Structure 1
Amino acid sequence: MRFPPLARYSLVGLLLVLHLGLAVSSVRLKSTTFDERPHLTAGVSFWWTHDYRLNPEGGMLSQRWAALPALYYGFIDTAKDGWRDADIGWCSYEYFYGRGKRVETLLWSSRSMNALWGTAICVLVLVWAWRLFGTGGGMIALAAAVFSPTLLAHGPLVTADVCTALFFVLAVGATWRAMHLMTPLTIAGVVLAVSGLLLSKMSGVLILPMAALLTVVRIAFGRPLRLGWTRRPSRRIKGRARPAVALLAAAVLCAAGTFGVVWGAYGFRYAARHPDAPSPAAAEFDWTAVDDGGFIAATVEKARDHRLLPEAYLYGFNYARRSTQRRIAYLDGEYSLEGWWRFFPLAFLYKTPSPMLLLFGMAAAALPFRRRDATGEALEDEPDAPLWYRTAPLWVLLLVYGGFSLTSSLNIGHRHLLPIYPVLFVMSGAAVRWFDTAFVRAAPARRWSTAAIAMMIASLAAVSLKTWPNYLASFNTLAGGPSRGYTHLVDSSLDWGQDLPALKSWLDGAGLQEPDAARVYLSFFGTAVPEYHGLQFLSLPSFMPRFRVAEPRPLRAGVYCISATMLHCLYVGPRGPWCAPYEHAYQTLRPEVRRLMATRDDPSARRALLADRGPDEWRDLVREFEHLRFARLCAYLRVHRRPDAQIGFSIHVYHLDDQQIAEALDAAPAEMHEKVMVRGAGD
């Protein structure tokens, strides 16, 4: 597959610009997703205050990078108690909404900065596939990356996910190269790549088993090690023992350099709190909350005792590890606190476009092809470095990270698979072998395979353009498309709080924000503030929790807008499907709430009632009842109703009349299980 140089570079430039344009434009009118508020606020705080207490698990590099355009807006008042206590919820709210900023402009500038990580992945994929499979393979791999809905969805978001994916690939690639060509430049490349990975996300420690496996492969294969000071060293070390000693020495050197870079990122200071910052009311970090008594926690404690790494890094690592051990998750109608081994394979199957799956299949089928001469005889494929060996870092990254994902109980988002996607993009370049005469001699087979691969790439591009701007909600035809995505996955695989502006636009278009319009109820999943976007609504239980007056309110006919994640009741008190324990609690609390509501217009009766239980107890009772009532309503909607509209496929809209409300809340439950149907909830 030949491209003239001018056409080649022009096409590459066009595709990269197209990817960046699609990514940045897709989030222009999206509200703040769940992790963006703390991520951006922490990054700005690092630059302005050199204090590292906020969101330490988020990654120093990724947060600082995203914050660069936001430095123009300054920071919050550091004299307030919220900053003194490093309250990330208060600080992020104050930074985003406390000074009359235009959140859209603030967020879009940082999102545009973050989108460069995704574009860098496209470049890296192109270069690596080009070296393995030639020009045609590089162009196929580039097209797969450019039009990937997964990369387009998460590339511009102010999170660490795509940055981490980039540095995983850079780290294994740099490590593998230094294992064959050991120079000051390649050693420095390993230090920078591994440091960038460790400073991007705490899962970066997986580079350690990856490097160990690559070392085993390298020594077992026994290729000579080139050693020197320049790019073309003349010294070669043969055998296995001597290269192994050289690799060990290089590993020590790289580890020392990486330690230095990590310490430098924290200003060579152990303490997370800046010396000039006011002392908090309590300890900066609650170490007991992240200590599970295991081996890793004990190792971190030793590192803390000897101050081997900065305090914020150690706490962030322990916090990230501890918070992933038990998290509520949803998959295909099931709920679990422990996760499923099949979660990520199914998420990959549902969220990867069908044309891309076919392209991966064509590439995998082409990998065993042998190069042949004009007579059809098989030729040796570079016996000193066969393809499996040259792609070893890709396979190791895929196997180690993929294996880790299968054992993870953090099943809240397809985004955690991002590090394996660049590997698959690169390997998709092997599909070029189908129309290379050196591999496939039969002309009809080449013609048909060429047409098939061209159709796959064109279909992938069409799917990507059609999905814009709702890349986060992308599901393939196997999953029923975006409109059925909520039946398979929620949370950051679909609904991350991104569609408040679209909801506002839809409600305005339907005339539902007028004074005499039908009631609008909202249950929202996310950290964005609906009121900031001009929404007028009655609040239903939401996550993150909204501030509410502890006064029960009847549900009436109206328009119910419910985030897909809230519809499945992952983050309300009664989690999962409706069951007998929830029904018993609901029926027990109903008469109590009626008693409270009956005193609304009778102050003396209200005072007597409050004296009976106390305001705090009544407040908790009302909150529990509202959550139970909402969960019963959601059970009815899941069983009996399809949404009347889907806003960005993440917020469902239902038009409900009084009869349907009564059926949902007063009649027999729409579903009834004997016990709580959340795996691990009884532990």
Structure 2
Amino acid sequence: MPKLNRNQPTRSQSSYLADFPKRACIFFLICYISSGVVFAYVKSPVVDEVGHFAAGLLHWSQGEFRYYCVNPPLQRLAATLPVCFLNPEINLPDRDIAISERPEFSVGLDFIREYRQDCFKYFFIGRLMSLLLNSIGIILVMLWANRLFGSDSAILAGSLWVFSPMLVAHGSIIGPDVFSACVFLGFAMACDQWIQRKGLQSCILMGLLLGLASSTKSTLIPLALGVQAAVVLSSGRGDLMRTAGQLLISITASVSILWLVYFGEGMGTKLCELELSSSLFVNWISRLIGESGLGCLPSALPPDLLHGIDFQKQEFETPSFPDSYLLGTWKRGGWYTYYIVAWLVKTPVPTLLLTAVGAVQILLNLLSRSPPIEESRKHEHASGPALLSSSQAVLLIGPVLLTFLLVSSQTGFNRHLRYLVPCYPFLFLIASSVISKYRATTSRRLVCCAMVFLQAFAFFLSAPNWMSYFNLAAGGSKNGPEVLLGSNLDWGQDIYGIERWKKACKVTDPIFVLVQSDYHPTWLGIDCYSPKLGKGRGIAGPITSYETAFPKGWYLISVNYVYSNGSSQRDWLGSQFREEVPAYTIGNTIHAFFVDSAAIARINGVSNARSDE
């Protein structure tokens, strides 16, 4: 009987690890973490990060998950875990405050106001933890690309991740977007393993990763279930009873992970005891429960998860949506094409081109089936098959289509491209198929090397302002405000830059700030003032003259206010500078204007001209 070599990789392991470019992977990890550390160090806490940070600390200290319930807690639990060892003091919110008032943000703001400059170290530690967790995605995307297309494709997929401004910026803050992409990718890989083997081990792994995905971002629940259903349908009938049983085991494992992440809080809560108010629950689920008499049964999902989904759904159902902005136009409601346009202008051009070529190549392979997959598998060696099976193609293309369809269908308002981040790894995998080892030629490799070099050059050229990155096709970051606003450009990340600008320019005149943030820069030790708008439009009361509205000094104004529609007093103040040329720009997001008598005359003239129109 031959002796078993325990060090020899199994068939499943070798498909991932054979010819895996380990040195390239280590290099990419170093590059990604280094870039993320720079971003985490020089950029200030962004809007939603304040709430995520406070909610994470409240989860650990109180064991409650009503805070920031619109997002499941896994990522912020992990990010704030090392912060808890420093024992920071945090003010507890009033129990009578409704969850709809988002008390976690007031707690986060109180934390910044109390700790002032010292809050930096707490946010920085949480960001480092987030960055380390998010770097797992590089390993996963390279492993799967290596298995599907070969080592060259693994290097290409890894480089697209590392030099993605979106994934570096949002992967370096306390937020669920990039981590959700990592666990969604892991779930899809587990689905691929289950398709190949359909064993109990791969079934349980798929369920565990489904639970982790559901514990990270609520929108991943329909996405992951949709992908799982599509995979089952595309993988053939087989043994239906066995497949159904394994899927039941998978779902049971995922629900167990959900309860574990929520510390079991609310376990045993009856369905009739859930206070849900959106039309989704009131008109459909509650009616179904009432008619069937199932209200006495305990909820299979954590109540706070359901409350978060209900609250988010209710927000989309209210008529008081904020206006949306796209290509210089403000609109009540949104556009079906918003996220497609946003992705096209904020993604590096090399990634766009490679993704387009890879998608066409995969679709042509599926349509032609020449040579047949069965024949191509006879020549399979090292890292993967020559062609993708239909189920593997579904695993690559399905998450992209489902994510775009889901976010584009919500036209109540459009604001955040980051909602698309969960599908980014799949776009990189599609792009990496361009140099699949069965189709790679010297010319293809050279073209891909040139593409990666151009993307890396643009990436480092825009450093560290990756959150406000726009590609050359959109006119670069300077033209960003003409295309998109909000978190796509300014999310409050450049407030630390005000102090550096002040020292570099040796500013002595008064500084008035109007930035995209709920906390004031003075809380971080920056000497500045805020325009105090009263009931009228002006500083400290109605405007009697533009000299009283705009005292002499420097005005640092977020591009979100400069290009606003003037619907609020803050928006109006910023929009008065629309025709002014800024003397400086801080991080592509804060325009610095010096206001003197000549500037006041120009603003006065522009405003009068607008009034005449």
Deviation sequence 1:623-643 (CA, Å, 0-9, x none): xxxx44x544544432x2232
- Give the deviation of 1:461 after TM superposition: 1.2
Which of 25, 28, 36 in structure 2 is aligned with 1:15?
28
Q: Quick one: structure 1 residues 453 and 479, their matched pair in 2 at CA, closer, same or farther if it must change by over 3 Å?
A: same
- Residue in 1 that maps onto 2:266: 270
- Give the deviation of 1:649 after TM superposition: 0.4
Structure 1 residues 174-253: aligned runs within 5 Å:
174-206=190-222, 207-219=224-236, 240=237, 243-253=239-249
Q: Quick one: structure 1 residues 632 and 90, their matched pair in 2 at CA, closer, same or farther if it must change by over 3 Å?
A: closer
Q: Quick one: structure 1 residues 509 and 217, their matched pair in 2 at CA, closer, same or farther if it must change by over 3 Å?
A: same
**AA paired with 1:469?**
P
Which of 464, 486, 489 in structure 1 is aligned with 2:484?
489
CA distance in 2, matches of 1:182, 1:317: 32
* Contact 1:354-1:476 at 8 Å conserved across structures: yes
**AA paired with 1:350?**
V
* Contact 2:112-2:523 at 8 Å conserved across structures: no
- Residue in 2 that maps onto 1:645: 584
* Contact 1:33-1:527 at 8 Å conserved across structures: no
* Contact 1:272-1:311 at 8 Å conserved across structures: no
- Residue in 2 that maps onto 1:536: 527
Q: Secondary structure at the match of 1:196?
A: helix
CA distance in 1, matches of 2:287, 2:64: 25
Q: Quick one: structure 1 residues 245 and 327, their matched pair in 2 at CA, closer, same or farther if it must change by over 3 Å?
A: farther
Runs of 5+ unmatched residues, structure 2: 1-16, 378-384, 534-538
Q: Quick one: structure 1 residues 245 and 70, their matched pair in 2 at CA, closer, same or farther if it must change by over 3 Å?
A: same
Q: Quick one: structure 1 residues 356 and 642, their matched pair in 2 at CA, closer, same or farther if it must change by over 3 Å?
A: farther
- Give the deviation of 1:655 after TM superposition: 2.1
Is 1:320 paired with 2:297? no
- Give the deviation of 1:485 after TM superposition: 0.8
**AA paired with 2:431?**
S
Is 1:254 paired with 2:246? no
Structure 1 residues 18-417: aligned runs within 5 Å:
18-76=31-89, 81=94, 87-99=103-115, 102-206=118-222, 207-219=224-236, 240=237, 243-270=239-266, 288=277, 295=283, 298=286, 306-308=297-299, 309-325=301-317, 326-364=321-359, 366-367=361-362, 379-382=371-374, 386-389=387-390, 390-409=392-411, 410-417=413-420
Q: Quick one: structure 1 residues 568 and 483, their matched pair in 2 at CA, closer, same or farther if it must change by over 3 Å?
A: same
Q: Quick one: structure 1 residues 138 and 665, their matched pair in 2 at CA, closer, same or farther if it must change by over 3 Å?
A: same
* Contact 1:37-1:92 at 8 Å conserved across structures: yes
- Residue in 2 that maps onto 1:591: none
- Residue in 1 that maps onto 2:425: 422
**AA paired with 2:403?**
Y
- Residue in 1 that maps onto 2:599: 660
Structure 1 residues 509-588: aligned runs within 5 Å:
509-512=504-507, 514=508, 517=509, 519-540=510-531, 554-569=549-564, 574-575=566-567
CA distance in 1, matches of 2:325, 2:460: 28
- Give the deviation of 1:355 after TM superposition: 2.0
- Give the deviation of 1:161 after TM superposition: 0.5
Q: Quick one: structure 1 residues 98 and 535, their matched pair in 2 at CA, closer, same or farther if it must change by over 3 Å?
A: closer
- Residue in 1 that maps onto 2:382: none
Structure 1 residues 666-681: aligned runs within 5 Å:
668-671=607-610
* Contact 2:470-2:476 at 8 Å conserved across structures: yes
CA distance in 1, matches of 2:520, 2:239: 58
TM-score w.r.t. length of structure 2: 0.83
CA distance in 1, matches of 2:498, 2:587: 8
- Residue in 2 that maps onto 1:677: none
Q: How many residues align?
A: 560
TM-score w.r.t. length of structure 1: 0.75
Deviation sequence 1:301-336 (CA, Å, 0-9, x none): 979875413221111111222334534321111223
Q: Secondary structure at the match of 1:387?
A: coil
* Contact 1:116-1:155 at 8 Å conserved across structures: no
Q: Quick one: structure 1 residues 421 and 75, their matched pair in 2 at CA, closer, same or farther if it must change by over 3 Å?
A: same
* Contact 2:37-2:128 at 8 Å conserved across structures: yes
- Residue in 2 that maps onto 1:450: 445
Deviation sequence 1:55-95 (CA, Å, 0-9, x none): 11222101101111210232546677479877323321233
What's the % identity of the aligned pairs? 21
**AA paired with 1:637?**
F
- Give the deviation of 1:363 after TM superposition: 2.9
Q: Quick one: structure 1 residues 151 and 44, their matched pair in 2 at CA, closer, same or farther if it must change by over 3 Å?
A: same
